[in-house]
């Protein structure tokens, strides 16, 4: 009979209400996961059919990027109806089936909630446009008169994250140029006014709608942006960066909102959770999002942006555990998502490469994908050993690189058009997944259609090829996830062992984790290697590789 701990480990949904503290959560990007009806865009039925592969991989939960009704100007992050499914993805019944199937497999399901803005096609925004300045309908969004003698200038200097002004002037119902509305993202993504009790109430209803459909939690989009300085002062552009607090990022008013949401989730006793997408720094500030009465998790982007260097990584790991630990929250560990250049490519580039706006055809980069993959595999063993909860972005487990040579005309990220092609944006990490080497669209569907073209070289990275190759990246993830459970690493205590300019090493859950950052092989200490990111060379750990050892010293 297996030990109790192993039995519990095989049934994530059966675990306690605090499952999220140690969970490995797989991000599904619905457009690109699997396409059941063959129109070239992934869909809910495709995801349901792929759940078996995710269960086999060994993750505990999935997070689905938005599948709600949407004109798809920002790949679904422009929501026109929060309680319905976009026809390109399927129906509510399809989602019910997905949730049921996932739960039957022991996988929790987290959905994306986009509260900072809606689509301009949302009925609420259309009602605001049709109503007069100063009306309650306008008060749900952020409408203001312009500056200048005829209101011809935007209310302030705020810039859209996607480029260009964050304000757009409307035509009033009588056809004359009138007020401006705020959109921190695309023109078609108007920001809500979160001081409005009406807006707050609508989102409580939306949370309830999905909670009662059985979702296990929410990833909260732009969780740091809901509270705007009501005086709308100009932004100090010289200080502007995703991490810089300003008149709209990381302001204190957001916390009241999340307290209310938390109280609502706590009325369900079976472990519903909230995870903040909050680009705030330092980690002590981010930890304010996960105080006991607020969210359960926040994405640790400081970890994601840390360069491949032992002391830099040691510092961010130590600081994360201490900042989140101070408020009783687990840290999360994130290596990639649908907004950033894929890990293998990132780690194959010189560390000073500017990746903030994506890379493409004309970016001058010196890229070494062999080094990138080697380091990505080592980074994976490092990450999956850390105490807390880890996120895996679809395709990471296949070692997919960023697609750099997407033809200009195929690009879809609004950033690309808003900046006239100056910023490539995020399409390169969103290309449909390869499932099988010898089928059309590599098994993404059966027709060969794909909303972004897949590189021919992805044949070799297809899931079916990797499943039967014990040296593949897929098998590495699978084995690491299995061992992570067996040794309860997510709930383990980390103690540092050795950190130098070339080595990072610590103990956790009875294992010793060693990462070799040097360019020469490293002699390993006594102990049994249970997994390594590259084959050992005469018993030594090769450059840019990592290993987990049963720590004989700790066992003794």
Contact between 348 and 369 (Cβ < 8 Å): yes
Q: Which does 41 bind (CB under 5 to 8 A by kind): Ca ion, ligand GLC, none?
A: Ca ion
Identified binder of ligand GLC from the candidate list 94, 137, 221, 544, rule CB under 6 A: 221
3-state secondary structure at position 483 = helix
Q: Which does 74 bind (CB under 5 to 8 A by kind): Ca ion, ligand GLC, none?
A: ligand GLC
Q: Which does 35 bind (CB under 5 to 8 A by kind): ligand GLC, Ca ion, none?
A: Ca ion
Distances in Å between the alpha carbon of 93 and those of 39, 135, 183, 187? 20, 37, 32, 32
Annotated catalytic residue within 78, 191, 227, 277:
277
Binding of residue 28 to ligand GLC (CB under 6 A): no
Residues 325-344, interacting with Ca ion (CB under 5 A): none
Residue nearest to Ca ion (CB): 43
Contact between 373 and 343 (Cβ < 8 Å): no
β-bridge mates for residue 512, sequence order:
507, 549
Say whether 288 is catalytic.
no
Of 43-51, 324-332, 358-366, 523-531, which part binds Ca ion (CB under 5 A)? 43-51
Residues binding Ca ion: number (CB under 5 A): 5
Distance CA 89, CA 96 (A): 13
> Which is closer to Ca ion, CB of 441 or CB of 462?
441
Of 7-15, 24-32, 36-44, 533-541, which part binds Ca ion (CB under 5 A)? 36-44
Residues 104-143, interacting with ligand GLC (CB under 6 A): 114
> Which is closer to Ca ion, CB of 89 or CB of 301?
89
β-bridge mates for residue 422, sequence order:
none
β-bridge mates for residue 26, sequence order:
62, 392
Contact between 146 and 169 (Cβ < 8 Å): yes
> Which is closer to ligand GLC, CB of 60 or CB of 221?
221
Residues 6+ apart with CB under 8 A from 333: 300, 303, 383, 386, 388, 389, 390, 391
Distances in Å between the alpha carbon of 382 and those of 164, 273, 324, 426? 39, 25, 19, 26
Identified binder of ligand GLC from the candidate list 26, 77, 299, 301, rule CB under 6 A: 77
Say whether 553 is catalytic.
no
Q: Which does 402 bind (CB under 5 to 8 A by kind): Ca ion, ligand GLC, none?
A: none
Residues 6+ apart with CB under 8 A from 514: 498, 503, 504, 505, 522, 524, 525, 541, 546, 547, 549
Annotated catalytic residue within 94, 137, 191, 221:
221
Question: Residue 400 Cβ, how far from Ca ion at the closest point, in Å?
Answer: 20
Quick one: which of 474, 420, 446 has its CA closest to 54?
474
Question: Residue 297 Cβ, how far from ligand GLC at the closest point, in Å?
Answer: 15
Binding mask 257-296 for ligand GLC (x = CB under 6 A): --------------------x-------------------
Distances in Å between the alpha carbon of 250 and those of 38, 45, 99, 275, 469? 41, 37, 33, 15, 45
Identified binder of Ca ion from the candidate list 43, 112, 137, 302, rule CB under 5 A: 43
Identified binder of Ca ion from the candidate list 37, 126, 306, 417, rule CB under 5 A: 37
Residues that bind ligand GLC (CB under 6 A): 74, 77, 114, 185, 221-222, 277, 338-339
Task: Please give the positions annotated as active site.
Answer: 221, 277
């Amino acid at each position: 009979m297996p030990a109790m701990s192993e039995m519990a480990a095989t049934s994530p949904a059966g675990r306690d209400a605090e499952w999220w503290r140690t969970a490995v959560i797989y991000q599904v990007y619905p457009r690109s996961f699997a396409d059941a009806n063959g129109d070239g865009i992934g869909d809910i039925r495709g995801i349901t059919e792929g759940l078996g592969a995710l269960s086999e991989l060994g993750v505990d939960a999935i997070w689905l990027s938005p599948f709600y009704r949407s004109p798809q100007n920002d790949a679904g992050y422009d929501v026109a109806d929060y309680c319905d499914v976009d026809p390109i993805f399927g129906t509510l019944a399809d989602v019910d089936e997905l949730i049921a199937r996932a739960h039957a497999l022991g996988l929790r399901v987290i959905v994306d909630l986009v509260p900072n803005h809606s689509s301009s096609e949302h009925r609420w925004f259309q009602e605001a446009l049709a109503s007069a300045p100063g009306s309650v309908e306008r008060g749900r969004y952020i409408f203001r008169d312009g500056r200048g003698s005829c209101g011809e200038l935007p209310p302030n200097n705020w810039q859209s994250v996607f480029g260009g002004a964050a304000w757009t002037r409307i035509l009033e119902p009588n056809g004359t140029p009138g007020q401006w509305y705020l959109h921190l993202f695309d023109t078609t993504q108007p920001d809500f006014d979160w001081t409005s009790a009406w807006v707050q109430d609508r989102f409580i209803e939306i949370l309830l709608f999905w909670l009662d459909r059985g979702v296990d939690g929410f990833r909260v989009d732009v969780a740091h942006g809901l509270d705007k300085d009501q005086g709308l002062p100009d932004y100090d552009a010289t200080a502007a960066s995703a991490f810089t607090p300003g008149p709209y990022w990381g302001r204190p008013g957001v916390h009241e909102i999340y307290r209310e949401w938390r109280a609502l989730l706590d009325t369900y006793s079976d472990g519903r959770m909230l995870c903040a997408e909050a680009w705030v720094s330092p980690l002590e500030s981010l930890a304010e999002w996960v105080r006991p009465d607020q969210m359960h998790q926040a994405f640790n982007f400081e970890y994601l942006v840390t360069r491949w260097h032992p002391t830099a990584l040691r510092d961010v790991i130590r600081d994360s555990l201490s900042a989140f630990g101070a408020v009783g929250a687990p840290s999360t560990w994130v290596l990639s998502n649908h907004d950033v250049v894929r890990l293998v490519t990132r780690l194959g580039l010189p560390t000073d490469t500017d990746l903030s706006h994506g890379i493409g055809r004309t970016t001058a980069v010196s890229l070494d994908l062999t080094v990138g993959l080697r380091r990505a595999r080592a980074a994976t063993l490092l990450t999956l050993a850390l105490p807390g909860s880890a996120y895996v972005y679809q395709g990471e487990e296949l070692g997919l690189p960023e697609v750099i040579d997407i033809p200009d005309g195929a690009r879809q990220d609004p950033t690309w058009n808003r900046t006239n092609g100056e910023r490539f944006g995020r399409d390169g990490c969103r290309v449909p997944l390869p499932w099988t080497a010898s089928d059309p669209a590599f098994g993404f569907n059966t027709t060969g259609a794909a909303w972004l073209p897949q590189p021919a070289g992805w044949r070799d990275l297809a899931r079916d090829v990797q499943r039967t190759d014990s040296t593949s990246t897929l098998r590495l993830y699978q084995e690491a996830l299995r061992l992570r459970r067996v040794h309860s690493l997510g709930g383990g205590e980390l103690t540092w062992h050795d950190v130098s300019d070339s080595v990072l090493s610590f103990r956790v859950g009875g294992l010793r984790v060693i990462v070799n950052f040097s360019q020469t092989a490293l002699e390993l200490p006594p102990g049994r290697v249970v997994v390594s990111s590259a084959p050992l060379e005469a018993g030594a750990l090769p450059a840019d590789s990592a290993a987990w050892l049963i720590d004989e010293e700790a066992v003794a």
